[in-house]
Structure 1
Amino acid sequence: MFCPIMVDISNKKVLIVGGGKIAYRKAKSFLKYQASVLVVSPQFIYRFYELKKKYRQQLTLIEDTYDPKYIDGSFLVVGATSSRKVNEQIALDSHRLNILCNIVDRKEESNFISPGVVDKDGLVISISTMGKFPYLTRKIKEDIEHRYSKFDKEYLDLLEKLREIVLLKYKEKSHELFDHCIDMNKYELKEFLMELKNENVYKGA
């Protein structure tokens, strides 16, 4: 059974075997979170070379077929080749070394999966159907991105400041205050934050 957790992968080695679209999406995602990504494949789609220009230090591309030696020192492994046999071997090698692996064409050979993610610089929401219907994951992700579009970094920073003040001065009213402010726009939230700083305590409805 998969447990939803968040893991710090900064500066950790992630091996991706495969050079196609799925491998590219995986690499792009891991690079965003500052992993050190090694991608091994006999050939790569062109977008990999564009990605290399952006992440010169983080991304390594090796034109080669899969070899177990590439797994050494990996924190995570992704098998994303078009060969069932190769992906199966990647899973076997990873399990033997107790390294977490994701096999893109066979969930039962994986011991981690990559959910759909909404990441708004502080607000992170993960969505998964556990591989049963990925289209639904994409649909829910789009709906969440639209519904919570106002929660950008500036808005979340304001909420963080508000939370600090509320827990320090108005802890007994925290739920009431949080419920009240969460529907505000950015301007209203700034005004409300100023009121709290000036100890103009919100009395509620």
Structure 2
Amino acid sequence: MPKNIKQDIYDGTIDYMFISLISSKTKILIVGGGRAGYIKAQSFLRKGCSITVISREFIEDFKELESINLKLIKREYSNSYIKNHHLIVIATDDDKLNDAIKRDCDENFKLYLTCNDYRKGMFVVPTMGETKTTQIALHTKKGSPKTSIYLCNKINSSLKENDDFIDYVSSFRNKIKKFDNRLELLDFINTDDFLYFFKKGKHEVVLKMFYGGFIIET
């Protein structure tokens, strides 16, 4: 393999820091009424965020997005709009306007996503998966969305197999919050051994053997 190709393959990794936003409390401004803005609006609305989209023109697809959490404003961008939103999505094809929005965001300490080049922004939206009891987010460090989707689906399948166990452990944790030995108990049940007995239907027998029946009755 040529030396320069090797170098290209191993360059470009990005370190991400994950946070989980409470979607119902998150206000997002999208600047741009084209395809990129529509896709982001659709994605954020699906999670229950409050969305404002500002643009001089909107593609027809926006008419399909009927939601009380969506507000469309047909006018020029003004920096006054970013002040009432937590996250800003820059989704126009005007490079000068995009740069101006970025400057406004930096001056007002706003997190922003740049649709034309994610590396110029401050956040990206990860591939997400969900089961009855879990939510996961996944990135590849070099930016391969198809790979992220593939891996997320594999992880999701594994998590679904353990939904009942996760539900049991979460409920158990809530029951023992006032126990002096709660950390020891949580260490005990969050193991492969206990998962094995749970799947065999013998988990309560094991708990009684080690800690007594009073735990089950709380």
Pair in the same fold by TM > 0.5? yes
Are 1:119 and 2:130 matched, yes or no? yes
Q: Please state if 1:80 is matched with 2:95.
A: no
Residue 180 of structure 1 corresponds to: 193
Cα distance between partner residues in 2 of 1:22 and 1:147: 32
Contact 1:12–1:35 under 8 Å retained in 2: yes
Q: 1:81 to 1:29 in 2, by over 3 A?
A: same
Distance in 2, matches of 1:164 and 1:127, equals 28
CA distance in 2, matches of 1:12, 1:175: 34
Considering only aligned residues, what root-mean-square deviation do their CA atoms show, in Å?
3.2
Change (3 A) 1:19 1:150: farther
Give the CA deviation at 1:61.
1.5
Q: How far 1:14 moved relative to its partner?
A: 0.8
Q: In structure 2, how many angstroms separate the alpha carbons of the residues matched to 1:109 and 1:120?
A: 32
Deviation at 1:159, TM superposition (A): 2.5
Report the 3-state secondary structure (helix = DSSP H, G, I; strand = E; otherwise coil) of the residue aligned with 1:105. Answer: coil
1:44-193 aligned at under 5 Å gives the runs 44-46=59-61, 48-52=62-66, 55-56=67-68, 58-130=69-141, 132-152=143-163, 156-164=166-174, 168=179, 172=184, 174-178=186-190, 179-182=192-195, 188=199, 191-192=201-202
SS, match of residue 72 in structure 1: helix
Q: Flag the 1:148–1:104 CA change in 2: closer, same or farther, 3 A.
A: same
Residue 192 of structure 1, CA deviation = 4.1
Instruction: Specify the code of the residue in structure 1 equivalent to 2:86.
Output: F
Where structure 2 has 5 or more consecutive residues not aligned to the other structure, the ranges are 1-14, 212-218
TM-score normalised according to structure 1 size: 0.74
Alignment counterpart, residue 24 of structure 2, candidates 7, 10, 34: 10
TM (normalized to structure 2)? 0.70
Distance 1:181 1:164 in 2: 18
> Considering only CA atoms, is the larger Rg found in Structure 1 or Structure 2?
2
